[in-house]
Structure 1
Amino acid sequence: MHKGIFAPLAALGLAACATAGPDYHAPETSAATAPGAQGAFHGAQGGMASDAPLPDHWWRLYDDPKLDALVGEALAANADLRAADANLTRAQAVLREAEAGRAIGTTAEGGASLSRPSGTGGSLPGVVGYDLGLSASYTLDLSGKVRRAIEASAADVEAAAAARDAVRVSVAAAVTRAYAQVCAARYSLAVNRRVVALQRDTADATRRLFRGGRGTAFDVSRAQAAAESSAAALPGFEAQRRNALYLLAALLGRPPADYPVEVEGCAALPVLKQPLPAGDGAALIRRRPDIRQAERAIAGDTARLGVATADLYPHVSIGGSLGLAGPLKDFGGGTSLGMSLGPLLSWSFPNRPVVRARIDQADAQVKADLARFDGTVLEALRQVETALETWRRDAERAAALDAARDSAAVSAGQAQRLFRFGRGDFLSLLDAQRSLAAAEAAAAAARSQLLLDQIAVFLALGGGWE
C-alpha cells in the first residue's frame, strides 16, 4: 500500500531533478545585438572625438591635479555612494541567507510542566514533567528551488553592484561639472571685468573731454550707464561660482562652509589635449552600468521563475529527531528517550492553480525585464549621440562667437581711436563697445558651455568606474 502511494511521488521528484524553470541565457535577439547598436557613433565624426577606448578615469584627460584630487575624495566620501555600498552589502547578505538553504537545519526545544490530576486534594503537590528535543533536517532540493533562489540572489548582488557603479559614474561627472562651473564662472567674471574696465576708461575719457570743452554731459551719462550696465552682470557670475563651490562641498560629503578653498581661484577652463575617446556602441553596451543592471534583472527574475515553477513538485527533505520526555523524577530513564529518522514530504498539490498563477506572474516579469533592457540600451545610445551632436554643434557656435568677438574688438579699437582724434562721434564708439561687451560675454559663455558639453558626453558614455 505504501509503495503504491510513494512510487508516483518519487517519479515526480526525479522528473524535477533537472532544476525547475528555464536556465538563463543572455538575450540573443535584442537592441544590444542589433548591428546598428554595435558600430561607431555618428556624432563622433569630424575629428573632435575618436573611436579610442574610453579610460576608466576619464577626468584625468584634463591633466588637472586639483580635479583628480576632488574626484578621488568624492568617490571615497560621497553620501550617495555610501548608500549604494550599503545596498550592495545588504544584497550580499541576502545571498548568504539563500545559500544557507543548502545547510542542515537544526532546532532545539525544551520545556517544563506542572500537572495535578483532577480529584486530588488541593494540598497535594503536582507532577513536574519535562520535554527536551533536538531535530535536524536537510532539504534534498530535488526540484532545484534552493538552487534557483541562490541564482536569483546572486543576480541581485550583481545588479546592486551595477547600481553602485552607476552612482560612481554620476558622482565623478557631477564633481567634474561643479569644478568646471567654478572655473567657468571665474573665467566669465574675468572676461566681463575687462569689458567693464574698458567701458569705465571710456567714461573717464569722456569726462575729461567734457571738462575740456569737448563733448556733452549727455555723452558722459551714456558712457557711465554703459559701464554700470555691464558691471551689473558681475554679481551673477560670483553667485554661480559660490554656488558651484557649495555643490562641490556636498558632493565631497562636507558642509557648505567647508567647501574646497583650494579651487575657488580657478580662472582657466579645463581643456582636453586630445580628441575625446568615445569608443563605439559595442563598448558602450559593455560599459554602461545601467545596461548591466537591466541585464542582471532579467537573470534574477528568470531564476525566480524557476523558484515559482519548483512549487509544482514535492519538497522532500531528510530529517531526524531525538527527544526526552516524562516526569522529572524519571529523567534519563530509558523509557523517556524517543528517536525518529526518515524523509519529510510536503506538496501543495491542491493549490496548483495558485502555483500556475505565480508562474505566469514571474514569466510576465521576465518579459517586462526584457523590454526594459531594450529600452535601457536604446536610451544609452540616444544619450551618447545626443551629447556628441550637441557638443559638436556648440563647438561650431563657439568658433563663430570667437570670430565675432575678435571682429568686435577690432571695431571697438578703431572707434576709440577715431573718437580720440576727433574723426568719429561718441555714439559710434559707444555702440562699438556695447557690441564688444555682448560678444565677449557670448564667447565666454559658449566656451564654458562647450566644457559642460564634454562632461555630458563622458557621463553618457558611462565612464568613471573600474
Structure 2
Amino acid sequence: MSERNGKRGALKSAGVAMLLVVLAGCSVTAPHGALPQPDSDTLNRLSSVAIQPGAQGAHAELRWWEALNDAQLDRLVERALQSNQDLAAAALRLDAQMARLDVARDQRRPQGGLSGNLNLSREQTAGSGLEVRRQESVSLGLSADWQLDLFGRIRAAIARAEAQLNYQQYSHEAVLAEVVNGVVKTYTQLSGTQRQLGVLEQQLSSLQESVATLRLRYEEGVATPLELYRAQALQHEYLARRPLLEEAAAGYRETLATLVGLTSDQLQLQLLSVALPTADSLSPVFNDPSHALMRSPELLQAQARVEQAMALSDGAKAALYPDISVSGVIGWLSASSLDLGDAREQLGVAPRLQWSLLNLSALKAGLNAAQFEEQAVLAEYEQTLLTVLNQADRSIQTWAARTQRLEQTGRRHQFARQAFEQAQARYEEGVLPYIEFLDAQRDLLESEDALVGVQTEWLNAYAEVYGAFPGNWVDALKQS
C-alpha cells in the first residue's frame, strides 16, 4: 500500500514538474512593432552638408561655443554647467531612478526576513465558571518568499525600470543641451542689444546735431519747416526705440542670470568691448553628423518611451500566466510555554500557485490596451524622428541664409562707411552742405545697427545648428 502511495506521489510530482516546464516554455513576450528608421536619403543629405574636420575640428565640435573667442561666454557656460538648478534637478531625478532600478532588480531574490509571533489567550471551560485554561505560544524564525519568474513578470518590471532610467538619462542630456544652447543664444542676444543701444545713442547724438542745425537754418530762412519737422519726427522715433531695447536687454539679462544660477543684479558683464566674429571666421564642424543627429536627446527620450511601452506590454502578457512562488520558514516554535528552551525546531517549504482564471478576460483587455498604447508611442516616436530631421534641415538652411545675409549686410556697411568718408572729406572742403554730411553719418549708423542685428541672428543660427546636431558634444559634456 505504501509502495502504491509512493508511486502516486512520484507521478504527481512528475506531473507538476512537467506542467511547470510546459508553462515555462510558453511565450510570454508580447509582439512588438519595429522601431521606425530614418530615411536614408534624408540622413545622407543632412550629413553631406556638414563639414568633415580633422582632429582640431573634432575638438571644436565638442566645445563649439569656444569658437566665438569670448572668454566671458566660456565662463558663463562653465558656471551654468555647475550652478543651473534645472540641470541639478535632472541629475537628482536620474539618481532617484537608479535607486528604483535597484529595487526592481531586488525582486529577483527571495523576499522576507526575521519574524516573530507571541500568542497569549485564556479560555473558560463550558459549563464551569471556575476552570480557566490558559494557552501560550511563541515562535521566532526566518521566513522568505521567492517568486519563480517563469513568465517574465519581474523581468518586465526590470525592463520598464531600465527604460525609465534611460528616459531620465536622456532628459538630463536634453537639459544639458538646452542650458548650454540657451546661455550662448541669450548671451549673444544681450550683447547684440547692448551694441544696438550704443549705436542708438550715436544716432540720437547725430540727430540732435541735425535738428539744431536745421532749426538755425530755419530761423535764417534757409531751411523749410518740412525739413525741421521730419528731422524732429525721426529723432522721436529713435527715442521711442530706446525703452524697447532697454526692456529687451533686461529680459535677456534676467534669462541669462537664471541660466547661470544668479540674480540679475549679481550678473556682472562687459559686453560692448567684445568683438563679434565675421562671416568667414566661423563655421559649424562635425566629425560624424549622422551620429550627432541620431543621438539627439529628444529622439532618445522618445525611444525610451517606446521601451517603457514594450515593457508594459510584456508585463500585461505575463499577467495571463500563473504566479508561482516558493515560501519557506526556519525557526523555533513553543506551543506550551514562553520558554524558548523548550521550543521545537520549525522548518517548512511550500510551493504556491496563483492564477487569476476568473479575471482572464480583464487581463486580456489589459494586454490589448497595453499593445494599443505601444502602437501610439511608436507613432509618437516616428513623429519625433520627423521633427528632429526637419529641424536639422531647417537649421542648416537658416545658417546658410543668414550667412549670405550677413555678407550682404557687411558689404552695405562697408559702402556706407566709404560714403560717409567721402561726405566728410567734401564737407571739410566746403563742397557738401552740413545737413547732407549728417545724412551720410546717419546712414552709416543705420547700417551699423542693421549689421549688429544680422550678426546676432547669425550667431543664433550657429547655436541652432549645434542644437540640432547635439549628440557628440552632449556626450562629451556628460562624461567630463
- TM-score with structure 1 length normalisation? 0.83
Distance in 1 of aligned mates of 2:314 and 2:116: 34
1:117 aligns with 2:124: yes
> Could you list the per-position Cα deviations for residues 197-228 of structure 1 after superposition, in whole angstroms to 9, with x for gaps in the alignment?
333344455566678x5734845665455445
RMSD: 3.6
What is the alpha-carbon distance in structure 1 between the residues aligned to residue 264 and residue 132 of structure 2?
Answer: 75
Does residue 342 of structure 2 align to residue 333 of structure 1? yes
Equivalent position SS for 2:45? coil
| Equivalent of residue 36 in structure 1, options 12, 16, 41 | 41
1:443 match: 451
Q: Which runs of 5+ in 2 are unaligned?
A: 1-7, 476-480
Which of the numbers 395, 399, 402 marks the counterpart of 1:394?
402
Aligned to 2:390: 382
Contact 1:17 1:144 in 2 (8 A): no
Aligned residues: 457
The change in CA–CA distance for 1:405 and 1:109 in structure 2 (over 3 A counts) is same
Q: Which of 259, 282, 289 lines up with 2:290 in the alignment?
A: 282
C-alpha displacement at 1:237, in angstroms?
2.7
What residue is the counterpart of 1:189 in the other structure? 197
Q: CA deviation at 1:101?
A: 0.7
Query: Is the Cα contact below 8 Å between 1:192 and 1:440 reproduced in 2?
Result: no
Residue 139 (structure 2) aligns with: 132
Summarize the alignment of residues 234-245 of structure 1 with structure 2, pairs less than 5 Å apart: 234-245=242-253
Change (3 A) 1:38 1:6: farther
- Aligned residue among 318, 321, 341 for 1:310: 318
Deviations along 1:73-96, whole A, 9 cap, x unmatched? 112221211221122122112211
Q: Conserved in 2, the CA contact under 8 Å of 1:14 and 1:142?
A: no
Classify 1:204/1:414 alpha carbon distance in 2 versus 1 (closer, same or farther; 3 Å). Answer: farther
User: For 1:22-421, what aligned pairs fall within 5 Å after superposition?
Assistant: 22=29, 27=34, 30-32=36-38, 34-41=39-46, 45=49, 50-52=51-53, 55-107=61-113, 108-117=115-124, 127=134, 129-133=136-140, 134-206=142-214, 213=220, 215-216=222-223, 218=225, 223=231, 226-259=234-267, 261-265=268-272, 267-269=274-276, 273-278=281-286, 282-322=290-330, 324=333, 326-328=335-337, 332-334=341-343, 338-411=346-419
| CA deviation after TM superposition for structure 1 residue 141, in Å | 1.3
Amino acid of the structure 1 residue aligned with 2:51 = S
Aligned-pair CA distance for 1:252: 1.5
Where does structure 1 lack aligned partners over 5 or more consecutive residues? none
User: Which shows bigger deviation, 124-133 or 137-146?
Assistant: 124-133
- Aligned mates of 1:264, 1:440 — CA distance in 2: 17
Equivalent residue of 1:465, what SS? Answer: helix
Q: Match of 2:318, as an amino acid?
A: A
Tell me the alpha carbon deviations over residues 405-458 of structure 1, each in whole angstroms, 9 at most, x when there is no partner. 444445556566667777667776676566555433323212211111211222
C-alpha distance in 1 between matches for 2:314 and 2:234: 75
Kindly state the Cα deviation for residue 172 of structure 1 after the two structures are TM-superposed.
Answer: 0.6
Q: CA deviation at 1:13?
A: 2.8
Instruction: Indicate the residue corresponding to 2:22 in structure 1.
Output: 15
Taking only the aligned residue pairs, the percentage that are identical comes to: 24
159-168 or 53-62, which moves further after superposition?
53-62
Q: After superposition, what is the alpha-carbon deviation per residue over 1:382-413, rounded to whole angstroms, capped at 9, x for unaligned?
A: 01111221222222233333333444445556
- For residue 335 of structure 2, give the secondary structure of its aligned residue in structure 1: strand
Measure how far apart 1:154 and its partner are: 1.3
Classify 1:401/1:135 alpha carbon distance in 2 versus 1 (closer, same or farther; 3 Å): same
Greater shift in the superposed pair: 288-297 or 109-118: 109-118
Relative to structure 1, is the Cα distance of residues 56 and 115 closer, same or farther in structure 2, using a 3 angstrom cutoff?
farther
Pair 38,388 (structure 1): closer, same or farther in 2 beyond 3 Å: closer
